[in-house]
Structure 1
Amino acid sequence: MTFYADLPARRTRQILADVGVLLWVVLWVRAGLSVRETILGAMAPALQLETAGESLQGSLGAAAERVGAIPLLGSTVAGPFESAADAAESVRRAGEDLAAFVERTALLTGLATALVPVLLALVPWLVIRVRFARRARALQALLSTGEPLELLALRALATQPVTVLTRVSPTAAHDWRTGRRDVVERLAELELRSAGVDLTARHREGLAGGTGEPLPRGTQ
């Protein structure tokens, strides 16, 4: 599949457009990563809360075990420590949940920051590039199979703006129907050039019916 035009001017524009889209994608991916890192910075207090709760739970749990070993009074004295350890566990879970929430928020916000502008540029670019490639391939297939000039000229009449057609001939459609050779050749060349297909010497000879005479120069 052909992704770039044969004509230098159009190929240069396509390459510049591709580079521009690439830079746009890189810019917004970096912006998304930056946003993610900024939001992740807010996760530090949550991690500290989780660590403090875990440490406090461990200390209170150990204390509850020690006082629980005291004969007769152990279970009574250990009760408050166990309750405090449960509260510390709740603090640890709250810190863990908060950290997970911040992490999810950072990921989703970073993706949204990068993905929306990237898709806004990438989807139209991809549609245009694929449409060009398919059209260029179809026209090149016509050239390689030796289809008559009339078919390419008919495509030009169907797809080219009226203002462009009138520059070829004020009565382009009538000239095509009557088989006016010079107009048919210029319309065919116009259609090929509009798709970025260059008329090489081999194509020119084939289109001119093997006469070797160059076609009249069309619109680039």
Structure 2
Amino acid sequence: MQLYAERPIRRTAQLVSDLLALLLVVFAVWLATSVYDQVLKLRAPGDGLVNAGTGLRGTFDGAANSAGGIPLVGDALANALHGGSNVGTQLADAGRWQIEAVESLAWWMAAIIVVLPVLTLVVTWLPLRWHFARQATAAARLRALGDEGLDLLALRALTTQPLRRLASGDDVATGWRERDRDVIEELAGRELARHGLDRVSAGPAAARPSGR
């Protein structure tokens, strides 16, 4: 798989773009973690309510249990004290609800901070890199075939190069039909350059002499 161009300028640009994409993801994760931790600090009042409600309920329950042993008025007093225990329960429940709301908010904010840049990379940077890798890999395989591959690359260049560029030189179409090696190599070189590849393959197949 040809992940990077062979030409220095384009390869450098690809490396820089990949590094920026990686840094963006790392920064998004760091920012999401920081935001998550900061938002979780908002649960402190909820923790206080839970602690206060739990303590209040325990106090009233203890007092109600003690009052239950008092002759004559013990039951009535215990029931009254249990009413205070219910208030403590409601206070603790309100604190738990606040804690759950803060935790949910922290999670969603962190998720959005990570998902947005990653989704942006998926719909912009990733398709471009995947398209280049596929096209460059196919072009490199044709180049490795030697003369046969160069013929196909030259034909591809005839169909993809701008008309103005084709018209700027000699009659390249005639040269390609007549199997002019200089014309074929020039066209193949243009197609390879379009995919960021060098004109001459380092493999032995490229050095094979033409049988024509």
Q: Supply the distance in 2 between the matched residues of 1:76 and 1:86 (Cα, whole angstroms).
A: 16
Counting aligned pairs with the same residue, the percent is 37
Which shows bigger deviation, 141-150 or 120-129?
A: 141-150
Which shows bigger deviation, 4-13 or 136-145?
A: 136-145
CA contact (8 A) 2:144 2:206 kept: no
User: Match of 1:12, as an amino acid?
Assistant: T
- Residues 151 and 25 (structure 1), Cα distance of their counterparts in 2 relative to 1, 3 Å cut: same
CA contact (8 A) 1:148 1:207 kept: no
Q: Supply the distance in 2 between the matched residues of 1:36 and 1:166 (Cα, whole angstroms).
A: 60
1:151 aligns with 2:155: no
Q: TM-score, normalised by structure 1?
A: 0.83
Aligned equivalent of 1:108: 108
- Residues 188 and 67 (structure 1), Cα distance of their counterparts in 2 relative to 1, 3 Å cut: same
Instruction: State the SS of the aligned residue for 2:67.
Output: helix
Task: Write out per-residue CA displacement over residues 128-148 of structure 1, whole angstroms, 9 at most, x where no aligned residue.
Answer: 111111112112222334434
- Residues 68 and 173 (structure 1), Cα distance of their counterparts in 2 relative to 1, 3 Å cut: farther
Q: TM-score, normalised by structure 2?
A: 0.85
User: Match of 1:154, as an amino acid?
Assistant: L
What RMSD over aligned residues (CA atoms) do the two structures have, in Å? 2.4
Q: CA deviation at 1:180?
A: 4.0
Q: Supply the distance in 2 between the matched residues of 1:149 and 1:133 (Cα, whole angstroms).
A: 19
Aligned equivalent of 2:20: 20
Q: CA deviation at 1:28?
A: 2.4
List gaps (5 residues or longer) in structure 1. 212-220
Aligned equivalent of 1:136: 136
Q: CA deviation at 1:52?
A: 0.7
Q: Supply the distance in 1 between the matched residues of 2:71 and 2:158 (Cα, whole angstroms).
A: 104
Q: Supply the distance in 2 between the matched residues of 1:33 and 1:165 (Cα, whole angstroms).
A: 55
Aligned equivalent of 1:210: 209
- Residues 170 and 39 (structure 1), Cα distance of their counterparts in 2 relative to 1, 3 Å cut: farther
Instruction: State the SS of the aligned residue for 1:108.
Output: helix
User: Match of 2:98, as an amino acid?
Assistant: L
User: Match of 2:159, as an amino acid?
Assistant: A
Q: Supply the distance in 2 between the matched residues of 1:170 and 1:49 (Cα, whole angstroms).
A: 86
Aligned residues: 209
Q: CA deviation at 1:61?
A: 1.0
Q: CA deviation at 1:208?
A: 6.8
Matches within 5 A, 1:40-119: 40-119=40-119
- Residues 10 and 104 (structure 1), Cα distance of their counterparts in 2 relative to 1, 3 Å cut: same
Q: CA deviation at 1:83?
A: 1.3
User: Match of 1:111, as an amino acid?
Assistant: A
- Residues 36 and 67 (structure 1), Cα distance of their counterparts in 2 relative to 1, 3 Å cut: same
Q: Supply the distance in 1 between the matched residues of 2:136 and 2:66 (Cα, whole angstroms).
A: 83
Q: Supply the distance in 1 between the matched residues of 2:28 and 2:43 (Cα, whole angstroms).
A: 23
Q: CA deviation at 1:29?
A: 2.3
